[in-house]
A and B are shown apart, each in its own frame.
Chain A
Amino acid sequence: MSTTFLPCGTYHQNYSQDHAWWQTRFIKAKMALLFLILFGLIPWQADSYWLSVCNQIGYTVLGALGVQLLIGFCGQVTLGHAAFIAVGAYTSTLLILEFPWPAVLLEWGLAYPVSILIAAVIAGFWSVLFGLPSAKVKGFYLILTTMAAQFITVDFIISQYISQIGGRGQAFSLPPGTIKIGPWVVDSDLKVYLLMLVLVIISIIGVVNLLRSRVGRAWVAIRDNDISAEVMGINVVKYKLYAFFVAGFIGGLAGAFWISNLAAISPEHFQWFWSLWLVGVILIGGVGSIHGAIFGSVFMVVVMELLQLAIMPLADSFPKLLMDFLFIKEAVFGLAICAFMIFEPNGLAYRWWQMKNYFNLWPFSY
C-alpha cells in the first residue's frame, strides 16, 4: 500500500485533503474521463460481442476483488472462492424461482434486487463458516480448508441436493422476464453491462473505503504480522472472519449478478478451476492492490478472447485447435502466471504505480 508520490509543487493544507481519494485536479479529470468512457462510450459504441467481454471482465473483477481482499490484504490464502459465488448465484436463482414473493414486490420488480442482497449476505455467512478454521490454521493448511469449502459446497451440496430441487435435474433455467429491476428487464448485453458497472463500482468503493479505515488496516496488519497485530489490540480471529464475510459478500454479489447473464445455471459454472483462475488473476494483476484485481481481470479476459479470435481463422485448416481450445486456454493461463512470477512478481499494478510515479515526479525524479 505504498502511496503514490504527489506531482511536484502540490501541497496539502489539511488532513482531509491528504485522506481524499483523488487528490489533484489532474486525477479528477482522469477519473471523469474514465467514467465517460465506461458509461458514455463503451455502451453505445461496442457491439454485443465486446459488451459480453466487458461483462465477463466485470464478473471476474467482482470475484477477484473478494480473493484479493482475502489473499492480498488479509493474508488468508483461499482456493475455494467459486463456492461463495455459487452460493450467491444459487440463492438468488432459488429465491426468484421458488420463493412465494408477495404480488406487490413482483409487480414492482423488486424480487431480483432483493434476492441479490439476500444472496450476498448468505454467501457472506457461508464464507465465514469456512473461514472459521483460519482461527487455528494458516498458510498451506488454510488453502486445504478453503478447498474443502469448494468441494463441499459445489460438488456435494449444490450438485447433489440443491440442483435436485424442483426435479429439474442439473441446471436451473431462468424464464425470460424474471430478471428485472423495477420496470427494467435485464435482457440484453447492454443492460447486463450497466448492472455490472454499478455493482463493480459499488463494491470497489466499499472495499477501498474499508481499506482506508480501521477494519482494513487491521486486515493488512494481520497479513503482515499477526502476532504483533494481536498485541496492538486487534482481535485477530474476529477480523479474519470479517474479511471472510466481506469477501463472501462480494462473491455472492458476483454470483447473483452473473445469473442475469446466464440463461441457465448449473454447478459446472462454479468448478474449482474458477477459484484457481481468480487467484491467478490477482497474481497477474498484483497481490495487495485493488488496481491489481481490475488489471488482472482485464488482462486475463482480453487475452483469452484474443486467443480465441486468433484461433478462429486457423480452425479451418486445423479443426483440432478449436476442439482443444479449453486445454489451450488452461495452458496459456499457466504460462501467463509463470511469466508474471518470473518477470514481474508484483504484477501489472506495480507497473502502473511506477508509471504514475514517473509522470508525477517528472522532470525531477530525484
Chain B
Amino acid sequence: MAGLVTTFGAGAMTNSIGEIREADFLFVIGSNTSEAHPIIAMEMKRAVHRGATMVVADPRHIFMATMAKKHLQIKPGSDVWLLNAMAHVIIAEGLCDEEFIAKQTEGFEAVREAVAEYTPEKAEEFTGVPAEDIRWTARQYATTERAGIYYTLGITEHSHGTDNVYALANLVLMTGHLGKPSSGMNPLRGQNNVQGANDAGATPVYYPGYQNVNDDAVRKKYEASWGVTLSPKPGLNLNQMMKTLGQDLKGMFIMGEDIVLSEPNVKNVEEGLNRMEFVVLQEPFLNETARFADVILPSSVFAEKDGVFTNSERRVQRVRKALDPPGNAREDWRILLDVAAALGTPWEHLDSPAAIYAEMCQDAPKFAGLSHERLEREVHQGKTGIQWPCVDEQDPGTLYLHKGGILRGKGLFTAVHYRPSMELPDEDYSLVLSTGRTLYHYNAATQTRREVGLHAKQSEAFIQIHPRDARRRRIEDGDMVTVTTRRGEVTCQAIVSGQVRRGSIWMPLHFAEARANLLTSDAGDPVTQTAEFKVCAAEVRRAPESAQKGAADAPACGSAFPGSFYREAVPQNRQP
C-alpha cells in the first residue's frame, strides 16, 4: 500500500469490482484470483466471456491462466524485469499517453532512462518469459482503452515488493490508464477487513483515515478529542514487532491472529514469545499462539456481532448480529471496552458499534459522511454499502478514485531497478519455494479446517513440484516429502504437477502440522517491512514415511487434494 500512497495518493483499489466485467484488457499478476478471490475471478471470467483479453503473469499455470489469452510463466521474484521491459516497449514504440504524462504526472524522465536497458530480450533471460510475449502484452495493455491491472500478494510479498508496485504504477501512469472506469490499478485485499483495519488506524503510522501520527496538528486534534496526551513517535510495524519480541517488547495484546502460524520464520517468533513478560490473546478458538498466552479472552465470530467491514473496493458494509456468542464468550467490541476500562480509561459513551463508528468518522475527513444509520438506509447504483471517500452526509461515495485528477495532485513516477530476492537457490537449496492460499482454506485455518467439506476436498498439507524436479529426487505423486530451508523443515505430501515452473515449488500456508512459515524468510521490504513469503531457497527429498505409506494398502496418492486441476497433465484451455 505504501507504494500506491506514494504514487497516487491513496492506497486502495482504484476501481470497483463491478467495473471488472466491463474491462477489455485484464493484466492479472501475482494473483491466484480464482482461489484467493473467487468472486472477483467470476467477474474476470465474465469479462473474458464477453470478449476481453486477459493476460496472467504467474509462476504457476493457475486456473485463471487456462482462461487467459497468454500466460507469462515468470520466474518468482523477477517481476521488475518483466514490468520494466513492458515499460521499455511502451516507450520505444511510442505508445505512451503523452498528454496524460505532461498534465498529470511527474518524474517520467527518470523512468524513461531507467527502463532503457530493460529490453525484452534481456528480460527473457531473467524472467523466462519470451520476449515476443512481453512485447505483445505491453502493446495490448497500452493500446486498450479499458485496461486494468489486478494484483495481490504475489507482487507485494517480496523483499522488493514496493519496487514491484512502483513498476506497475509506472505502466499505469505512462499509459494514462487511471481515473476511468475499468481502467486502473487494483490490489485485491486478502482479508475481509484489511481495508477497514487500516482505515481504522490499526497501523503504527496513521490515526484513523490515514492521518499521520507524526503530524502535530493531527495529534493535537486527537488529544483534544480523546482527552489524553499522545505519543508523537511512530510505532513498530508487525514485522518489526516480531523481530523484537522479548527484547524491546515485553507485553503484547493479540486479537484474532495466530502469529506463530501466519508470520514468517516462526521459530524466531516462538523464541521471542517465550521471553515475553505478559501476553494476552483474544480469540474464538484456542490456536497455536495460545501456548504463549497468560490470559485468553473468549471472543466472537462475525455472525455474533454488529459493525462494519470495508472491502477491497473501499465499500463499507454492515456486519449484523444473528446469534449470541456461546457460553460466557463476548463480542470483541464489548471485550475491548472492558479492557480499556480495566486499564483506567472507561469510555462509557461508546456503548454500541454505531457509537464507536460515529466517533471514528467524526475525526477522519475521508469517512465524515458515513454512519451505520446511512449504511442501513441507502443503496447506491443498486448496491448496498458506501465506498469511501465519503466526506459528508450528501456525498454518495466514490466509485473509482482519481476521476477528476490524481488524488496526490500529480502521479509520481518512480524509477526502479531489479534487485534479486534476499535468498536465491544454491547448491544446498536448489529450489525456489513460494507459499500462498488455496480455495478451500483460509489463513491459519482455525475456521476452515473445522469444515467437513473443505476437509474432504483438501485434508492435508502438500507441496506442488514439477515432474522433472520430482523425478530427479525419485519423488512420485502422493509421496510424503520433507521440505527444508535454512530455517526449518516440514513434512507433507507431494503433488507432482506440470503446472508448476521447473525449479519452483509451491506450498499452502494453512496447515499447523506442516507450517510453511517454519520455512519462510522474514526478510522484509525496506519500505513496508512486508515479508518475503514468495521466494526462499528450499530443498525437497522423499521422506522415510513414504516407504511405509507405499507398503500399506491405502493408496496415499492424491489424497491431499482430490480432483485438483493441478493434476491435469496438459492444462486444458478454457478460453471461450
B is bound to A? no
